[in-house]
Amino acid sequence: MRILYLDIDTTRPDHLGCYGYFRNTSPNIDEVAKDGVIFTNYYCSDAPCLPSRTALLTG
């Protein structure tokens, strides 16, 4: 199994085509997402970026 984890700071899902945004702002991300898994619910355990990313990867 291969995992491609994209962690892009300050990119909101409501501005990505794979989440329904009507403008063509993310064609490459949309192409990858077409055959992948898209998360619709993610709850942040910590507000600062680094602890939140650590919690996502380690549980």
- 8 Å CB contact between 46 and 52: yes
Q: What is the pLDDT of residue 22?
A: 94
Whole-model pTM: value is 0.64
Distance, in Å, from the CA atom of 55 to the CA atom of 47, rounded to the nearest integer, reads 11
Active-site residues: which are they?
A: 49
Domain segments of the chain: what residues?
13-58
Give me the residues of the chain with pLDDT under 50, please: none
Q: How much of the chain, in percent, has pLDDT values that exceed 70?
A: 100
**Residues contacting 49, CB < 8 A, separation 6+:** 9
- 8 Å CB contact between 50 and 59: no
